Each structure stands twice: as C-alpha cells, then as structure tokens.
Amino acid sequence: MTAATSYRSTVQAEARDGFGRLLLAEWTKFRTVPRWVLAVGASVALTVLVALLTAAGSASSGTGEGTADPARSGIFDMGHFTYQPLEGDGTVTARVTAQEGGARAKAGLMIRGSAERGTPYAALAVTPGDGVRLQTGYRDGGAGGGPGALPRWLRLTRSGTTVTGYESPDGRAWSRVGSVRLEGLPRSALAGMFVAAPDDVVVERRFGSESISGEPAAATAAFDRVSMVPARPGAAWQDRGTPGGPGGPAEPGAGGSTLSGGTFTLSGYGDIGPNAFADDLTKTILTGVLIGQTAIVAAAVLFVTSEYRRRTLRTTFAASPRRGRVLAAKALVAGLVSLAAGLAASCGAMLLARPMLRSNGVAPPPLWDAAVLRAVLGTAALLGVIAVFAVAVAVIVRRSAPAITIVLLLLLVPQIVATGLPLSAARWLERLTPAAGFAIQQTVARFDRAIGPWAGFGVLCAYTALALAAAAFLLRRRDA
C-alpha cells in the first residue's frame, strides 16, 4: 500500500471566475440547445427569403423604362440655372435682392460640371427659413451659416476641385460659409445663379388611407451686381434647359430668367438635391429583418427564461455568484450571436437580391456607398442590440410568454400600426418607441422620415441600456 496522497480539489484552480470562462460557459449553453441555434438560422433564412420576395415583386411595379439608375432616379435636379462657362479656377459674386417661394426656397450661386442632369455641383443659397447654406451632392443637405436677411452678397470660389462659399451683408466684410470638394468636376465648368424650391408635400386622405405626393413648388429671386472673375468680355449668359439667354422664350412651367438694367430675375420650379420621394430600395430589401427578429427575440428570451423555468439559474449563480457578470455574459453572448446572424442575413439579402433586381430591370443599390453600407452593417448591429434588449426584458419579467410578447409589441407593432395611422401620429410612434432603431436602415432622406438613422438607433440603445440597468438591479435584489 502506498501512502495515500490527500485529495485536492482541482475545481479551485479551474473555476477562477474570470469573465472569459463565464462567457465560454454561456456560449456553450447557447450552442448546445439545437432549438435556439435553429431559431437563429431561421431568422437569417426568413430575412433573406423576404428580401428575395421583395426583389421578385419589384418587377411588376417597375416603370418599364429600362434599368433605372438609383443614383439618378433618387435625385432632383430642377429649378433654374443661368450661367456662363468657367474655365479653371475662378469666382462668381452676386447680390440677392429679393426672393419669393416660401421658407425653404433657395436663391443663390452655383458651380456645376455641366448642364446635364446629375453632374457634381456646389450651390451657395439663401433660404428664408434656414439662412445661408452651402449645399452639394444629391444625398443630404449642406453646411449652414449666417442669417438669410436680404439683400445678401454671395460669393463662390473654385480652386482645383474645391469650391468655397462666402457671404456678406454689404459686399465688403466677407465671412466663409464652408467649402466642399467636388470629385469629378471637369476643368471647364459652369458658374452662375440659380433658384430652386423643395416640393410641397400634399397629404390627401380618402377611403381610410392617406396618399402623399409632392407638387413642384415655384421660386423666384432677383440678383444684381453679378460679376465673374476671370471676366470674359462678351460672354453671354445662358439659361439651362432653354436655348437662348435671359429674356429668351421661357417655356411655361419650366421657368426662365430676365435681365433688365443689371438685375437678373430668375424663376424656376422644383428642387436640386436628394429626391425626398425616392424609393428606399435598400431599406425595402432589408425589411425582412422585421420578421427575422421574431426568431432572434424568442431565442434570446428563452436563453434567460429557460434557466428560470428549469431552475438551472441557481446552479449558474452558485458557480458564479456575481450576478451582474452573469447578466453581462448572457447579454454579450446573445448580442454577438445575433450580430453574426444579422450580418449573414443582411449581407445575404443584399447579395442574393442583386441578380434578381437586375433581371427585373432595377439597378441594385451600390454596395460600397456609405449610406448603403451603414444600412447593411446597421441592420446587423440592430439585431445584436435587439437580442440584448430581449435578454434584459427576459431577466426583468422572468417568464418567456410575457417577455416575448412585450419585446415584440414594442418593436413590431409601432411599425405595423404606423402604416394605418395618419402621418403625424405615426411619426411620433416611430420616434419614441424602441422601433425607432429601424431608422438605421434608411439610405434616403425621405419626406416621411421620422428620425435620423443614428438618432433612431440611439433611441433603441437608450431603451436597451435602461432595460439592462433595471435587469441588473432586479437580478441582484431578487432571489433566483
């Protein structure tokens, strides 16, 4: 008989309660329940399926005008522009003396690549409501600065591909409004004056539903003391869209310009900038997440409540008595799994919908566009945060049935009910409930946007943080 060595538990060494170990334990719990893994897979499949359905349905609603370029159909490029050619660097200066057309009407100076639709441009405009603004591109508005009281001097200077705007109340003391870089601005560009006005939104309610449309609005403005540097003696002013110069035959409804005694009067219809009525194709493709999230929510809630129901939570707490850490580990595991699932779902939806859209004559949204990328990655992050929110609510409620109902009620119902509500009421619902998080999927600043993409995502994150704090508090205070 050998001398018996006394037994020493190895648990102590292994059970050092590092957060990594806890995370691993929770990950193992999640991974080894086939139902939850299936639910996560189902959520990916549902999202992609709805995207394909949407893409397939886009054919019947297509306009039949061949491949529609989203970069072009999503923009407005109207209004009126009176210009001279500008070779290389130069400056255009003018004074806006009068303006009509409502609080958002624009009157000012513009430098643009050509008279073609959708070319790069920089526009410095006075708006009665928003003051002086430097605007570029067809995606969103521009930098603001300065009051909009008339008369107001404006100056737009081109140097290379950079265009800088200045404004002044008297033509002597100039202050810089901002500057923009215009990629692809050709050496020989056009510079001149423009007027534009955003569409009037017309809401019409009939037969219990609302139809919303835009009506082009008119804008008129007067300019004097117009000068170009370098000056081109003898160069004539031209009107965009009409052959002649100022005073030429203006088509009715197309706007035009007149010149008398050094004062130009421009009038035009429509706006230049993003089309607030454009279809948000990316958001439509990613709408499947609305349905896919149900499975994620169910899995995340059950990840917590099944421990309450089967009493395994006591074992969990016995093994790791610091309850806040258990909650953190659970939230992290559920969030990361959902994030990965969301990434697979949104990327899969976008990629698989592409060939289908193309065969239906619709150009798919460009994947490397910043807004599209934000929508795709944001959708993945959205699912991650939703899972964390579901975990927190599950800890608060402790039972699966009410927890799932509450989470889905908060996330899904505002969006469904909003379709039947008047616009003003629907907007508040989409701003104040956790459903605001779905705003991250927007790629177009539409007229019915309730909340900006990041702000909306922030609302959801705030709800989640609040729920997590409440869950941590209750978890510590209550018996398991």
Q: Is 143 exposed, middle or buried (0-12, 13-18, 19+ CB in 10 A)?
A: middle
Residue selected from 408, 432, 470, 474 as contacting another protein according to rule CB under 8 A: 408
Q: Per the structure block, which two tokens stand in for 187?
A: 């050496």
d(CA 53, CA 146): 49
Stretch that binds another protein, among 21-29, 347-355, 395-403, 438-446 (CB under 8 A): 395-403
Residue placing its CB nearer to another protein in the complex, 7 or 207: 207
d(CA 81, CA 410): 48
**Would you count residue 400 as binding another protein (CB under 8 A)?**
yes
Residue selected from 100, 130, 210, 369 as contacting another protein according to rule CB under 8 A: 210
Residue selected from 54, 93, 164, 441 as contacting another protein according to rule CB under 8 A: 54
**Would you count residue 203 as binding another protein (CB under 8 A)?**
yes
Q: Per the structure block, which two tokens stand in for 415?
A: 């969006």
Total of chain residues touching another protein, rule CB under 8 A: 46
Site for another protein in 77-96 (CB under 8 A): none
Closest distance of CB 27 from another protein, Å: 21
Rg of the chain's alpha carbons, rounded to an integer? 29
Stretch that binds another protein, among 4-12, 51-59, 434-442, 455-463 (CB under 8 A): 51-59
Conformational region of residue 426, where left means phi above 0, alpha means psi within -120 to 50, and beta covers everything else: alpha
Closest distance of CB 35 from another protein, Å: 8
**Would you count residue 295 as binding another protein (CB under 8 A)?**
yes
Stretch that binds another protein, among 78-86, 244-252, 333-341, 394-402 (CB under 8 A): 394-402
Residue placing its CB nearer to another protein in the complex, 319 or 412: 412
CA dihedral angle for residue 411, residue 417, residue 423, residue 426, rounded to 10 degrees: -30
**Would you count residue 99 as binding another protein (CB under 8 A)?**
no
**Would you count residue 47 as binding another protein (CB under 8 A)?**
no
**Would you count residue 404 as binding another protein (CB under 8 A)?**
yes
Residue selected from 20, 57, 186, 321 as contacting another protein according to rule CB under 8 A: 57
Is residue 375 within 8 A of residue 280, CB to CB? The reply is no
Q: Which amino acid is at 124?
A: L
Residue placing its CB nearer to another protein in the complex, 265 or 433: 433
Neighbours of 420 (CB within 10 A): 10
**Would you count residue 409 as binding another protein (CB under 8 A)?**
yes
Q: Rounded to 5, what percent of the chain is helix, strand, coil?
A: 45, 25, 30
**Would you count residue 401 as binding another protein (CB under 8 A)?**
yes
**DSSP secondary-structure letter at 68?**
B
Closest distance of CB 355 from another protein, Å: 18
Residue selected from 16, 424, 477, 479 as contacting another protein according to rule CB under 8 A: 424
Closest distance of CB 395 from another protein, Å: 15
Closest distance of CB 80 from another protein, Å: 31
The residue among 182, 173, 189, 172 whose CA lies nearest residue 87 is 189
Q: Please give the distance of CA 58 from its chain centroid, rounded to a whole number.
A: 22
Residue placing its CB nearer to another protein in the complex, 22 or 51: 51
Is residue 366 within 8 A of residue 71, CB to CB? The reply is yes
Site for another protein in 296-315 (CB under 8 A): 297-298, 301-302, 305, 309
**Would you count residue 284 as binding another protein (CB under 8 A)?**
yes
d(CA 274, CA 256): 23
**Would you count residue 282 as binding another protein (CB under 8 A)?**
no
**Would you count residue 420 as binding another protein (CB under 8 A)?**
yes
* Runs of H (alpha helix) within 310-399: 312-319, 323-359, 370-397
d(CA 444, CA 442): 6
Helix (H, G, I), strand (E, B) or coil at 303: helix
d(CA 337, CA 159): 50
**Would you count residue 208 as binding another protein (CB under 8 A)?**
yes
**Would you count residue 5 as binding another protein (CB under 8 A)?**
no
Stretch that binds another protein, among 18-26, 207-215, 227-235, 249-257 (CB under 8 A): 207-215
d(CA 356, CA 58): 9
* Runs of H (alpha helix) within 116-215: none
The residue among 442, 433, 455, 322 whose CA lies nearest residue 386 is 433
Residue placing its CB nearer to another protein in the complex, 156 or 302: 302
d(CA 365, CA 468): 36
Residue placing its CB nearer to another protein in the complex, 164 or 443: 443
Is residue 321 within 8 A of residue 361, CB to CB? The reply is no
Residue placing its CB nearer to another protein in the complex, 12 or 424: 424
Interface with another protein by CB under 8 A: which residues? 50, 53-54, 57-61, 203-208, 210, 284, 287, 290-291, 294-295, 297-298, 301-302, 305, 309, 400-405, 408-409, 412-413, 415-417, 419-422, 424-425
